[in-house]
Amino acid sequence: MRAVQWTGVNEVSTGDVPDPAIEQPYDAIVKVTASVTCGSDLHLLGGYIPFMRHGDVIGHEFLGEVVEVGPGVRDRRVGERVVVSSFIACGSCWYCRQQLFSLCDNGNRNPAVTETLWGFAPGGCFGYSHALGGYAGSHAEYVRVPFADVGAFPVPDGVEDLRALFASDAAATGWMGAADLGEVGPGDVVAVWGAGGVGQMAARSAQILGADRVVVIETDPYRRAVARDQLGCDVLDPQDALGDALLDLTAGRGPDVCIEAVGMEASGATGPLAALDKVTQLARVQTERITPLREAIYHCRKGGRVAVLGVFAAWADRFPLGALMNKGLTLRGAQMHGQKYIPTLLDLMARDELAPEYLATHVLDLEDGAEAYRLFKEKDDGCLRAVLRPGGV
Amino acid sequence: MRGRLLAVAALGAGAATAVVLRRGRTALDAPGRGTLAVTVALTADEVDARATGLDDELGALLARARRTPAPGGRGTELRVDDDGHDRAGTRQTLRLLKQQLETGSTMPPDDLSGRPPTPQGLALDAVLRAAGREGRL
Ligand SMILES: NC(=O)c1ccc[n+]([C@@H]2O[C@H](COP(=O)([O-])OP(=O)(O)OC[C@H]3O[C@@H](n4cnc5c(N)ncnc54)[C@H](O)[C@@H]3O)[C@@H](O)[C@H]2O)c1
Ligand SMILES: [Zn+2]
Ligand SMILES: [Zn+2]
């Protein structure tokens, strides 16, 4: 079959790979109908998560049709249109029973790598390096879905492909940030750093959860405009007196909830700390550039909540521990627990409350994988997310 | 670009070193640390019920394991004495035992044999070869 493969740092191409087959009793094979680029892929492509092997198939946010099920699959049926959680979880370990699906004890086939890096191994993820299980990704004609009864969800008839697609990862991540990590409720002022797919979904989720006001902080002017026009959020440029603007917006209180949705490649920041970050990241003295997280912690109100949705790989310097401790903040992060949120999200989508299809600014054929990533990475032509459709657009 | 590649090599090598160092330490403290342990999210009765379906290797390991209830409804703790040889093999079998008991199937480490060798891939291959047998468990 054809699939988009990682072939080196900042190199992807569409090539031939073997068709997937049922390997475990609980597997399903899904014929992919839409699979989308994610900001997380940029960290992989850029070589910031160096556990990729030449030829690995990438992609983890997808939707398709079940074409084969293993003998242990009870609920999923051939022919169903399904959206699949990007994280792979067994559904039966202690973490899965707590609905902390991305922390599944049994989802990652290579746990030793992340046990060594992080102390314990989170679950596995499609197309996200051998550190997260070495599973083939979804930018392909077909993909093997382990624990299909747990991770694949039938899409209601009225919900179109390009809407349901984002329940797989971006919307689930944003919802987790607002609902679970940030505990957003009525009356809250919520600030979101980053207006990519994840930040936009965090902002929309905060609105749905009753936030009084949502402000999106983004370096890219086009993406700021999208957040303003599509969601009706306030928008700020972080380089334009951010502190004053946030104080003004909240009449001196500071945002109740701050959500970081940028990740380890934050750009645009100026000043000595930002310059130091860039140098130390290149030299691998630290692995992340964390300007937005520093800002989130600094500007958050006393006793507020800070959620980290952006992906980070290892360690970061000059972390504002003093502000965190003395202001009594709660800091939480997670990879998204898709299996917990997808039913809620599909329901919101069916009621037109959540309509993320505007993120799909570019729809391309699977053969155009390299062009999809160029558009997405360079934010060319107003690209927010590029969707790949095997079998043609 | 060149800086980026060097940086990648550094983190990759770092991870490889970590696994190799860990292996070194494992060899040194093999007789000392005594036991390997996992918690399975099943009650004692559930473990018994599922024990009948295990293959010989996993069944033998379960038979060797000391069982105690885990606190807070977290299931059952399984502790296996490290018999001094092949600690890494025991560790991996214990992982598979937990997977089999909890999920009804096992997910061995992914296999990269058959991929064309590349310079950076060599370090990663070494890490992954160790991955099924190393780690903190
Ligand atoms: N936790 C999870 O489960 C999960 C799931 C999906 C994605 N992610 C992560 O979330 C992050 C965002 O994903 P995405 O798909 O939206 O990516 P994206 O690259 O499309 O968006 C990131 C946005 O951050 C903006 N940005 C960069 N520097 C900034 C700064 N200093 N201040 C404000 N904004 C800045 C960029 O201009 C961009 O619009 C990534 O790190 C990704 O890996 C996490
Ligand atoms: Zn993603
Ligand atoms: Zn699990």
Q: Which residues of B touch A55 (CB under 8 A)?
A: 115-116
Query: Which one, of B25, B29, B8, lies nearest residue B130 by Cα?
Result: B25
**Sign of the alpha-carbon torsion through A290, A292, A293, A297:** positive
For residue A222, the domain's CATH number is: 3.40.50.720
Which residues are near ligand 1 (CB < 6 Å)? A 38-40, 42-43, 169, 173, 193-199, 217-220, 223, 238, 261-263, 266-269, 291-292, 309-311, 335-336
- Within 98-117 of A, beta carbons closer than 8 Å to B belong to 105-106, 109-113, 115-117
Number of domains in chain A: 2
What is chain A's Cα-based Rg?
A: 20
Q: Per residue in A250-290, pLDDT tens?
A: 999 999 999 999 999 888 666 777 888 888 888 877 788 89
**A138 lies in the same domain as A91:** yes
pLDDT score for A83:
99
Q: Predicted ipTM?
A: 0.90
**Sign of the alpha-carbon torsion through B86, B91, B95, B100:** positive
CA nearest ligand 1 atom 33, residue: A218
Q: Per residue in A308-362, pLDDT tens?
A: 999 999 888 889 999 999 999 999 999 999 999 999 999 999 999 999 999 999 9
Question: A80 vs chain B: nearest CA distance in angstroms?
Answer: 24
pTM value is 0.93
Q: What is d(CA B105, CA B108) in angstroms, rounded to the nearest whole number?
A: 10
> How many CB pairs below 8 A link A and B?
135
**A224 lies in the same domain as A303:** yes
> Across residues A129-145, what is the average pLDDT?
96
B112 CB within 8 Å of a chain A CB: yes
Q: Which of A333, A364, A381 is the last residue of a domain?
A: A333
Q: Which residues of A touch B95 (CB under 8 A)?
A: 111
A43-52, A120-129, A331-340: lowest mean pLDDT where?
A43-52
Listed by start position, the domains of chain B span 2-129
> Across residues A36-57, what is the average pLDDT?
92
Q: Name every residue whose Cβ is closer than 8 Å to that of residue B70 and which is 6 or more positions away in sequence.
A: B39, B76, B77
Question: Residue A233 has which token pair?
Answer: 């959020």
Each residue's pLDDT expressed in tens, for chain B with a length of 137 residues: 333 433 344 454 444 444 444 444 444 344 446 789 999 999 999 999 999 999 999 999 999 999 999 999 999 999 998 877 788 888 889 999 999 999 999 988 887 777 777 777 787 887 777 776 677 77
pLDDT score for A116:
87
Q: How far is CA A246 from CA A208, A216, A217, in A?
A: 22, 11, 10
Q: What is d(CA A181, CA A197) in angstroms, rounded to the nearest whole number?
A: 18
**A220 lies in the same domain as A109:** no
| Burial readout A162-176 (b: 16 or more C-beta within 10 A, e: otherwise) | bbbbbbbbbbbbbbb
Give the chain B residue whose CA is nearest to the CA of A91. Answer: B103
Asked if the model's pLDDT at residue A195 lies above 50, the reply is: yes
Q: Residue A66 Cα, ligand 3 centroid: separation in angstroms?
A: 22
Question: Residue B32 has which token pair?
Answer: 């000392």
**A159 lies in the same domain as A301:** no
Provide the pLDDT confidence category of residue A37 given band limits of 50, 70 and 90: very high
**A182 lies in the same domain as A321:** yes
**A342 lies in the same domain as A327:** no
**A162 lies in the same domain as A276:** no
Q: What is d(CA A314, CA A305) in angstroms, rounded to the nearest whole number?
A: 22
What residues make up the domain containing A69?
2-169+336-389
Asked if the model's pLDDT at residue A56 lies above 80, the reply is: yes
A122 three-state secondary structure:
coil
Report yes or no: A131 and A117 within 8 Å, Cβ to Cβ: yes
Q: Output phi, psi for B37, to 5 deg.
A: -145, 145
State the average pLDDT for chain A.
95
